[in-house]
Structure 1
Amino acid sequence: MTYEQVKTLKPTEFKRLCGVYPDTFKDMVTVLKAEKVWQKKTGRPSKLSTEDQLLITLEYWREYRTYFHLGNSWGINESTAYKIVRKVENILIKSGLFNLLEKKALLESNSEIEVIVVDVSEQEIERPKKNRNHTIVASRDTTH
């Protein structure tokens, strides 16, 4: 769903779909557009609008979709979806206006680890049996 389709939804439906209210979404778009003004304009411009790029990021956060699925549903490459999500995340974190946890903050925890469970069960890896006679016969056939 592009932003043109999403913007007609009621605020409660918009929140259910995107995870943020329309006002917060507009604030995020303003931050992204302000950052784009300062960026160098090198290369080909994106075929997705700023709003659509933010929607991709919100879909990634909300639905835990893979970049492959995001790329297919938006008509872009998987690596492009990754770059868009990372770029939007970094801009929003750098702005400091939104309650986004940085990656390092997600790794740091206030609770202590009391128990560590390790699965050490061994499973045999199935490998094809080597048949020496079969390879010798095949090599003899090619030498005639």
Structure 2
Amino acid sequence: MAGVLTASEPSWIAPFTGLSPRAFGKLVTVLRREGADAVRKGRPWGLPLEDRALLVAAYWRTNLTMRQLAPLFGVSKSAADRIIDHLGPMLALQPRKRFAKDAVLIVDGTLVPTRDHTVAEPSKNYRYSTNHQVVIDADTRLVVVVGRPLAGNRNDCKAWEESGAKAAVGNTLTISDGGYPGTGLVMPHRRRNGEDLPEWKQAHNTSHKQVRARVEHVFARMKTWKILRDCRLKGDGVHHAMLGIARMHNLALAG
């Protein structure tokens, strides 16, 4: 069965991965070095590693069903499913372990509608969702940490710690919106009833809002990957998709 999409045709790479052919080639080289193309027992893969990586990215980008996606790459539905299960976790972003002393990070939570009700709960978007704590570098806008997904009804101040994001950043200066009281994060000043904020606090809030908006811009780019609008993956699948998309975002941003 002949496929339509292939990484050997460079024009297909950017629409599905957001990467240049050169950056995509570097990604595949790293995957191969990490053992993604190692010889395994049983039937060999029907696609080269480049096409398998493109298949996973195309699934995350388009959110097509296996029945729709598989013929585009000339493989069976079950083969496409196995490729995603195998390669998806290997595309995951590795959290940064060290930060510069003067680094400033930004954290915010985002909800991903998730059909697996064993990991999701009804949330403020009126859908079963998972809460993902995403931390970016305020200077480079690169994603540095993505916490473990929690049920969507978990508020951000609890998810910050329970997802592992807090432990991952340690004592690095981190700013957030007003949804993280009692966490020690740098939040905007709040006005008390019947009082107005002094001018210096208003100026600080304006600056804080401008910087924090960078994480919203990152979310806007990541949500162009349709899997983050309606995830059908089960178990850790939504976590692997978020981590993989974060890695693609970083590679595209870094050029």
TM-score, normalization: structure 1?
0.57
Match of 1:2 in 2: 6
Name the % identity: 25
* Compared CA separation, residues 38 and 20, structure 1 to 2 (3 A): closer
CA distance in 2 between partners of 1:34 and 1:55 (Å)? 17
CA distance in 2 between partners of 1:101 and 1:51 (Å)? 26
CA distance in 2 between partners of 1:31 and 1:74 (Å)? 22
Runs of 4+ that moved beyond 2 A: 13-24, 35-41, 94-112
Residue type of the partner of 1:47? G
Match of 2:31 in 1: 32
TM-score, normalization: structure 2?
0.35
Superimposed CA distance per residue, residues 91-140 of structure 1 (whole angstroms, 9 cap, x where no aligned partner): 1227558959879337566288xxxxxxxxxxxxxxxxxxxxxxxxxxxx
Greater C-alpha radius of gyration: 1
CA distance in 1 between partners of 2:44 and 2:75 (Å)? 13
Q: RCO higher in 1 or 2 (8 Å CA, sep ≥ 6)?
A: 2
1:104 to 148, 158, 169: 148
CA RMSD, Structure 1 to Structure 2 (Å): 3.5
Match of 1:85 in 2: 84
Bigger share in helix: 1
Q: How far has the Cα of 1:52 moved from its partner?
A: 0.3
Residue type of the partner of 1:55? L
Match of 2:162 in 1: none
Task: Give the match's secondary structure for 1:3.
Answer: coil
Match of 2:58 in 1: 59
CA distance in 2 between partners of 1:53 and 1:38 (Å)? 10
1:32–1:91 Cα contact (<8 Å) kept: yes
Match of 1:138 in 2: none
Match of 1:123 in 2: none
Bigger share in strand: 2
CA distance in 2 between partners of 1:22 and 1:106 (Å)? 35
Residue type of the partner of 1:18? T
Unaligned runs of 5+ in 2: 97-141, 158-178, 180-255
Task: Give the match's secondary structure for 1:73.
Answer: helix
Q: How far has the Cα of 1:78 moved from its partner?
A: 1.2
- The count of aligned residue pairs is 107
CA distance in 2 between partners of 1:59 and 1:39 (Å)? 22
Residue type of the partner of 2:50? E
2:52–2:83 Cα contact (<8 Å) kept: yes
2:70–2:80 Cα contact (<8 Å) kept: yes
1:15–1:21 Cα contact (<8 Å) kept: yes
1:31–1:95 Cα contact (<8 Å) kept: no
Q: Which moved more, 1:40-49 or 1:96-105?
A: 96-105
Q: How far has the Cα of 1:21 moved from its partner?
A: 2.8
